[in-house]
Amino acid sequence: MPDSHSLLILPGDGIGPEVMAEVRKVIGWFEDNRGLSFAVEQGLVGGCAYDAHGTPLTDETMARAQAVDAVLLGAVGGPAYDDLDFSVKPERGLLRLRKEMDLFANLRPAQCFDALADFSSLKREVVAGLDILIVRELTSGVYFGEPRGIHADDNNPDNEGGRVGVNTQRYTSGEIRRVARAAFDLAKKRSGRLCSMEKANVMESGVLWREEVQWVHDNEYPEVELTHMYADNGAMQLVRNPRQFDVIVTDNLFGDLLSDAAAMLTGSLGMLPSASLGAPMANGRPKALYEPVHGSAPDIAGQGKANPIACILSFAMCLRYSFDKGAEADMLEAAVEKVLAEGVRTADLLGPKGGTPVSTAEMGDRIIAALSA
């Protein structure tokens, strides 16, 4: 294995740059204290790239993303770009990265840190100790299916307004099997249980999803306990009794919804990291992009209020999945847990009892101090 660690950092919009600045501190700490070295380059994605270049992702940045070991992304989007054409919206930059890097497996862990169990909108006894992993298919489904668009509904005189909006939910068996394998592999390393979610009761793509996941199970992973659930029931079960799950595998759109719901179980959307992984590259490492699940939060951008933990934990996932540095990832996660246990809170983590929040930078500094302790 080569020991170079090349990173492309794309802070993006809104709170992206603020939270990514704290990740840079953490990267620096690992260089200074753990003998790791990272070749870091930085670029633009999203609205800031549109402002500079008229596109949310330039071909040059796309090429850099393909060339490095891992991409770290902050967040994209903001109200200033709401009226842009779909083709140049900030989100298109992120979707292009996912699609062209073929990052089909999106890992979204939702873990409830003990110190935060009281800040969840659910009761402590429902969420304490929660540790689940949602594996979301990320490069297909209704996000990318053709045909798509808004056009005149020419042959339908009864349609008031005269237009039709179309998106297509489309999955091939191969797309389902490869993300299922990623989920089964992860389930094997955890509790050995996998729950697959779709809407096989109303959608043909859901029927195929269920059949293919079952096929991969029966032929390749008979030792993993597989269950199937309709995604609407899955949403309900996630807020009713989330600890019944370990690993969940689902499609792109359901995964988007279910992972936001799962995020809230943990106390704050500001806590959730993610890894988007593709096939192995020539050096054996998977194509990879790491990003917090939260968005650009324009309402608090630039005020030092954002919680950098999701972005920092995304870097921990990078250490683990791209660089095989499990011990360092554990260290970083333990440092976050320690700081939370000490009661250090950004504003999003204060809960009903209130208190004095720390700034984004102070939270980063406290995590660095905990690493050094």
Residues labelled catalytic: 143, 199, 232, 256, 260
Segment lying near Mg ion (by CB under 5 A), choices 60-68, 255-263, 277-285, 357-365: 255-263
Size of the site for Mg ion (CB under 5 A): 1
Residue of the chain from 27, 44, 94, 130 that contacts ligand IPM (CB under 6 A): 94
Q: Are 76 and 13 in contact (CB under 8 A)?
A: yes
Considering the complex, what minimum distance in angstroms separates the CB of residue 340 from Mg ion?
24
263 binds ligand IPM (CB under 6 A): no
251 binds ligand IPM (CB under 6 A): no
Structure tokens that stand for 107 in this block: 């890992």
CA nearest 137: which of 159, 162, 108?
Answer: 108
Kindly state the smallest distance separating residue 95's Cβ from ligand IPM, in Å: 6
With CB under 5 to 8 Å by kind, the binding choice for 94 among ligand IPM, Mg ion, none is: ligand IPM
Q: Contact region for ligand IPM (CB under 6 A) — 23-31, 35-43, 89-97, 204-212? A: 89-97
Q: Does 91 bind ligand IPM (CB under 6 A)?
A: yes
Any idea what the Cα angle at residue 318 is, between residues 315 and 322, rounded to 5°?
165
Please give the single-letter amino acid code of residue 164: V
How far is residue 185 CA from its own chain's centroid? Answer: 18
Q: Which of 175, 198, 256, 348 binds Mg ion (CB under 5 A)?
A: 256
Task: Say if residue 2 is exposed, middle or buried (CB neighbours under 10 Å; 0-12, 13-18, 19+).
Answer: exposed
CB of 369 to ligand IPM, least distance (A): 31
The residue (of 145 and 351) whose beta carbon lies closer to ligand IPM is 145
What minimum distance in Å lies between the beta carbon of 242 and ligand IPM?
18
State yes or no: residue 73 binds ligand IPM (CB under 6 A): no
Residue range at the interface with Mg ion (CB under 5 A); choices 34-42, 114-122, 125-133, 250-258: 250-258
Closest residue to ligand IPM in the complex (CB) = 91
From the list ligand IPM, Mg ion, none, partner contacted by residue 91 (C-beta under 5 to 8 A by kind): ligand IPM
- Stretch near Mg ion under the rule CB under 5 A, chosen from 89-97, 126-134, 148-156, 249-257: 249-257
The Cα 187–Cα 200 span in angstroms is 22
Residue 80 bridge partners (DSSP): none
For residue 260, the minimal CB distance to Mg ion (Å) is 5
> C-beta of 270: minimal distance to ligand IPM in Å?
14
Where helices occur in the chain by DSSP H, the ranges are 16-34, 47-53, 59-67, 90-100, 124-127, 173-189, 204-220, 231-240, 252-265, 309-321, 326-341, 360-372
Question: C-beta of 45: minimal distance to ligand IPM in Å?
Answer: 11
Number of residues that bind ligand IPM (CB under 6 A): 4
Q: Measure the CA–CA gap between 56 and 250, rounded to whole angstroms.
A: 28
Contact 62, 96 (CB under 8 A): yes
> First vs last Cα of the chain: how many Å apart?
31
* Partner from ligand IPM, Mg ion, none contacting 176, C-beta within 5 to 8 A by type: none
The listed partner (Mg ion, ligand IPM, none) that binds 262, CB under 5 to 8 Å by sort, is none
The single residue among 13, 256, 328, 348 that binds ligand IPM, judged by CB under 6 A, is 256
As to burial, measured by CB atoms within 10 angstroms (0-12 exposed, 13-18 middle, 19+ buried), residue 232 is middle
Alpha carbon distances (Å) from 42 to 48, 119, 255: 13, 35, 29
Per the CB < 8 A criterion, the answer to whether 129 and 243 are in contact is yes
Query: Which positions lie near ligand IPM, rule CB under 6 A?
Result: 91, 94-95, 256
Query: Which positions lie near Mg ion, rule CB under 5 A?
Result: 256
